[in-house]
Amino acid sequence: MKVEELLLHPLPTQTPKLTLGCPILDHLLRGGVPCNSITEIVAESGTGKTQLSLQLLLAAQLPVSRGGLSAASLYLHSEFPFPIRRLHQLSFFYAPHLPNNPLDRIFIHPLHSADHLLDLLPRLDFIVPQLNIKLIVIDSIAALFRGEFENTPVELKRRSSIFFKISSKLRFHARKFGLAVVLTNQVVDVMDSSDSPRIGNSGFLCSSGRRVCAALGLSWANCVNTRLFMWREEERRGEENGVSENTQTRRFVRVVFAPHLPDCSCEFVITREGIHGVDR
């Protein structure tokens, strides 16, 4: 192809993005969660990754003019029980911006194993267009592999093979239907920093005073396009001279790697209305 012909080709359209429901968090991700790719949220239990996932289910229903996708969502959960009460609570704050009951456009399905997920993925060809789904959330991917494989070369190779099968099918459907695919992942403790290979912007991560890294290792890291890390820090506040101190939990989110984002982070809080960034 000649240079003249390349100049005649139209510029690629901008990738649609899904708002996180907060302008500060949207600014961190330069507009929100991108469609056509896989975004992973890594965090220890109780940090807010499931809360953010529920928030995205509701934000996806918002009109495009408000950063949404004007579409339904599919939530595949392997962590039990499903937090239905929290979803109901969050839905009250989105209902005034939506024409119908927000819960009617969220489809929930349990996952019991990696093989169960592999069996389900081919059905997306029928489910996604029929239900007008534009967001798929899997919470969590690590739970599907918990206790399934032994720590032997043969088993680890088989596990990696399943990783690539799952990610390739998710990426295929994301591009075919313009989906935003969001996965949550857990963390494991890093006993020796030399055991944790450098992935993205940092060799190791810290949460609650512990050195941690994303579960499932380097093979899985190569299966996702964007990785976000959420962590907690305990900050002591109080008077001196023997007076008891109060402990405040602060939460942060950071871009570990992404093809379109720099190394950046911000603080956030969890309220009744959801997750919101802190502008400092």
d(CA 74, CA 92): 19
User: In this predicted model, what pLDDT tens digit does every residue of 231-271 receive, in sequence order?
Assistant: 999 887 765 665 556 888 999 999 999 999 999 999 999 99
SS3 272: coil
pLDDT at 246: 80
- Structural tokens at position 25: 């968090």
Q: Is the pLDDT of residue 12 over 80?
A: no
- Structural tokens at position 129: 């267009």
- Structural domain spans, the chain: 17-187+217-231+247-278
pLDDT at 169: 97
User: In this predicted model, what pLDDT tens digit does every residue of 155-193 receive, in sequence order?
Assistant: 888 889 999 999 999 999 999 999 999 999 999 998 765
Pairing relationship of beta strands 210-214 and 246-257 according to DSSP bridges: unpaired
Identify the CATH number of the domain defined by range 17-187+217-231+247-278. Answer: 3.40.50.300
Q: 63, 131, 123: which is closest to 98 by C-alpha?
A: 63
Q: In what order do the strands lie in the sheet with 187-189?
A: 187-189, 210-214, 205-207
Which of the residue ranges 17-26, 39-48, 242-251 would you say has the lowest mean pLDDT?
Answer: 242-251
User: In this predicted model, what pLDDT tens digit does every residue of 98-142 receive, in sequence order?
Assistant: 888 999 999 999 999 999 999 999 999 999 999 999 999 999 999
pTM greater than 0.85 = yes
- Count of alpha carbons within 13 angstroms of residue 88, beta-carbon side: 4
d(CA 176, CA 75): 19
